[in-house]
Homo-oligomer: A and B are copies of this chain.
Amino acid sequence: MLEAAIGKMRGGGYKATPQRTAVLRALAEEQHQSLEEIRARCPGVGLVTVYRTLDLLSELGIVRRLDLGDGARYEMAKDHHHHAICESCGDISEFEKCPLDPTLLPLEASDFEVRSHSLEVYGRCAACR
């Protein structure tokens, strides 16, 4: 898990420092954390280093940055998935089954080459109903 990420860093010519490993461990503990949440999980690491590490991990494809309106959040990059966001409690859950119907994409015809997509579903989670 972390070994793979550390290997990818070394392979890219980057050092595997204790700070970077600490940030990785923090990210592994929970998905969709804000910068401050990540920082709380690795108190020894300086603010600037957390920012820089998240940038580096994003470039390496290890981390994905989410912009869901209320500030940036970060997650370990996993398989293609989407998010269900509760408008009441803010909880973010994931689902893998992609409800996009490719045949309905009206863009292929219009010269726009689709590379990826991002879908978020908003509503009320079970607990908040």
The chain A residues found within 8 Å of chain B, CB to CB, are 65, 67-69, 84, 86-87, 93, 95, 97-102, 104-107, 110-126, 129
Contact = CB atoms under 8 A, between A and B. Distances in A.
A98 B119 CA distance: 12
Copies of this protein chain in the complex: 2
Contacts of A65: 69
A24 B95 CA distance: 38
Nearest to A122: B116
Contact of A123 (B67, B104, B112): B112
A113 B106 contact: no
Contacts of A124: 112-113, 115
A128 to B, nearest CB: 9
